[in-house]
Amino acid sequence: MSRDALASVYADILENEYFRHTVAQHPEVLNDFDLTAAEKKALKGEAGHKAKEIVIGDGPVMKALHHGPTLSPGVALRLGAALNRAAGLPVGALNGPGFLSNAACCPWGHAVIGDFGIDTNE
C-alpha cells in the first residue's frame, strides 16, 4: 500500500473532472496504481461525487490518510492545493517550492494529515 499513491490519485480526482468521471465509470483504471482493494473502493466512491460535493476531510480517502506515516512533501503540497481548491479556499501559499510563511494558518500546510485543533462543529 502506498499512501503517496492514494493521495496522488485522490488529488487527480479532485483536480480533474474527466479523470473523476473515468474512475467512477471505469474503476479498472485504478489498476495502474499501487493501491489496495480497499483504497480502490474508497477512490471509486469519492469519484462518484462532483468535487464540490466531496466533504473535505470526512470522506473515506481522507480517513485512510489521517493516520500513519507522513506523505512525501511533493504529494502533500499537491493534495493540500487540490483540497483547498475543492473547498474554495486559497491555494497560493501551497504553490511553489516549500511552504510560504502564511501557510502556517492552514492545516493542509503540513506533510501530516491530522487533527490540528479545528473545531468543525461550530
* pLDDT tens digits along 24-74: 999 999 999 999 999 999 999 888 876 556 666 678 888 888 877 888 888
Stronger pLDDT, 27 or 112, i.e. the higher one: 27
Where are the domains positioned within the chain?
Answer: 3-105
pTM of the model: 0.72
- Give me the residue label for grid cell 473532472: 17
> What cell was used for 50?
462532483
- What's the pLDDT at 2? 82
Cα separation, 82 vs 10, in Å, equals 9
30-48 burial code (b ≥16 CB/10 A, e <16): beeeebeeebbebbbebbb
The Cα-based distances of 3 to 66, 102, 103 in angstroms read 10, 26, 23
Residue 103 pLDDT more than 50?
no
Stronger pLDDT, 105 or 24, i.e. the higher one: 24
- What's the pLDDT at 82? 86
Residue 8 pLDDT more than 90?
yes
